[in-house]
Chain A
Amino acid sequence: MDRNYHIFSDGCLERHNDTVRLVTLDGEKKYLPIEKAEAVYLHGQIDYNTRLVSFLNKHGVALHIFGWNDYYAGSVMPKRGQTSGRTLVEQVRAYDDPGHRVDLARKFVAGSIHNMRSNVSYYNRRGHDFDSILTTLADTRDRLAETTDVAETMGVEATARRAYYSTFDAILPDGFVFDGRRYNPPDNETNSLISFANSLVYANVVSAIRATALDPAVSYLHEPGERRYSLALDIADLFKPLLADRVIFRLLNRNQLTTDDFETDLNSCLLTESGRQTFSKAFEESLEETVEHPRLDRNVSYQYLLRIEAYKLKKHLLTGEAYISFKRWW
């Protein structure tokens, strides 16, 4: 699997001798092996030109840009390598058929609830008492079957997520409070971390969808919005408990991130550069972790699980094979 490269320095990113080179402001030159790159994440202030963009395009490498507020600023995506009118038609058909759409929406939520529950039960076994939350999550999961439209399914999702988030204050170490999800911009350290983590998950899903002929803007659980890849939101929700929240808990509970890694402004709280760096490293390590896949009968990385999710959805739409959303099985 190709890798993500994260650039935190300020400087200039350019094509040089058929690969990509970063020239930092103090003149240091660093090379990035283009043949092994999946995507480049820009966290610093970087200049680049069209020559670089068309070079990345040729190699199918995405550029994800991170800025302020909720971090994700946008992507420069390579031109679509995969196009299939039939996939798009089937994708839209499924959206337009209320029964089919709510069925997919329910599956996304069922997967999310399962994965949230697996985090809660992990901490339940480690000295917390989350029995009532586990029951609530199981109840919401059961209520899913009765939902008749997407709005109702969203409502169940919101109930589950509220119950899930209520465990955060107990799991987090002293000095970190959560106190409900707030963003645009996040107002405390925990919210800031969740925003940053979620935006990394989101960008990775955007890359994964790009590997298929699926259109990232046609979604099922989230309303296909303007100006955003709402299908990436559908899929990212499945993976946030595993890829975002677990890494957050681990880093905070091991003191690898402290309140010094944040900058608090009038009504925002954002990660510092070194905080983002620490988090990105842990995040990439977790993307590289592998698990044995029962159906593929081999080890796959967490990053590849994102890709599999997009493939499964596409296969469901094209062949009608049942879509089974990602549920942590280990």
Chain B
Amino acid sequence: MVYIVVVYDMQADRTRLMLNFLRKYLTHVQNSVFEGEVTEGDLETIQNKTRETLKSDESAIIYRMSSEKYVDRMVVGEDPTDDARFL
């Protein structure tokens, strides 16, 4: 398992494409920012699908950490990932 943060920059009317796709795997934390733990295989899928989705002037950046344990995460304000499993 790896912990990833995905940020993307797309034309305003196309952001929902990434939004809808990434929601299947990760937690939506802010506009155009997702994070969460995924398997190596899922990471591969995310990379491939992202490559297909993006147009030439758009980009996505995936930050990858070997595990959630190695992320020193500081949140100021309300944490959007709080209890994402208890709805």
A residues with CB within 8 A of B: 3-9, 17-19, 22, 24, 30-36, 277, 280-281, 284
- Tell me if B25 is interfacial: C-beta within 8 Å of chain A: yes
Interface flag for B64 (CB, 8 Å): no
Q: How far is the CB of B77 from chain A (nearest CB, A)?
A: 19
Closest to B27 in A: A33
- Cross-chain contact B24 with A3 (CB below 8 angstroms): no
| Minimum CB–CB distance for A47 against chain B, Å | 14
With both beta carbons as reference points, the residue of chain B lying nearest to A24 in the complex is identified as: B87
Q: In the bound complex, what is the Cα–Cα distance between A9 and B24 (angstroms)?
A: 21
B28 proximity list for chain A (CB < 8 A): 31
Q: How far does the alpha carbon of A145 sit from the alpha carbon of B33 in the complex, in Å?
A: 59
Closest to A281 in B: B86
A186 vs B17: C-alpha distance when bound (angstroms): 49
Contact A18 B20 (CB under 8 A): yes
Contact in complex: A34, B87 (CB < 8 Å): no
Contact of B85 among A5, A9, A17, A34 (CB under 8 A): A5
Which 3 A-B residue pairs are closest in the complex by CB-CB distance? Answer: A17-B20, A19-B24, A31-B23
Q: Which A residue's beta carbon lies closest to that of B83?
A: A281
15 contacts between A and B (CB under 8 A): A3-B85, A5-B87, A6-B85, A7-B87, A8-B87, A17-B20, A17-B23, A19-B24, A24-B87, A32-B87, A33-B26, A34-B24, A35-B24, A36-B25, A277-B86
B87 and A9 contacting across the interface, CB-CB below 8 Å: yes
Residues of chain B contacted by A30 (CB below 8 angstroms): 87
Q: Determine how close the nearest CB of chain A comes to the CB of B69; give it in whole angstroms.
A: 11
Chain B residues proximal to chain A, CB less than 8 Å = 20, 23-28, 36-38, 42, 83, 85-87
User: In the assembled complex, how far is the CB of residue A66 from the closest CB belonging to chain B, in whole angstroms?
Assistant: 13
Asked if residues B85 and A284 are in contact (CB atoms below 8 Å), the reply is yes
Chain A nearest CB from B27 CB (Å) reads 7
Q: Which residue of B lies closest to A6 (CB)?
A: B86
Question: Which residues of the other chain, A, contact B83 by a CB distance below 8 angstroms?
Answer: 281
Q: Which residues of A contact B24 (CB under 8 A)?
A: 18-19, 33-35
Q: Which chain A residues border B42 with CB–CB below 8 Å?
A: 35
* Min CB–CB distance B82 → chain A (angstroms): 11
Q: Which residues of B contact A24 (CB under 8 A)?
A: 87
Chain A CB within 10 Å, residue with most, of B28, B37, B42, B85: B85
- B86 near A33 (CB under 8 angstroms)? no
Q: Which of B23, B36, B38 has the most CB of A within 10 A?
A: B23
CA distance A9 to B27 in the complex (A): 19
List the A side residues contacting B23 at CB < 8 Å: 17, 19, 31, 33
Is B87 a contact partner of A6 (Cβ separation < 8 A)?
yes
Please give the distance in Å from B15's CB to the nearest CB on chain A: 13
Beyond the given pairs A17-B23, A19-B20, A35-B25, 9 more chain A to chain B contacts, judged by CB atoms under 8 angstroms and listed by A's residue number, are A4-B85, A6-B87, A17-B20, A31-B23, A33-B27, A33-B36, A34-B24, A36-B36, A280-B86
**Separation of A8 and B83 alpha carbons in the complex (Å):** 12
Give chain A residues whose Cβ lies under 8 Å from the Cβ of B37: 36
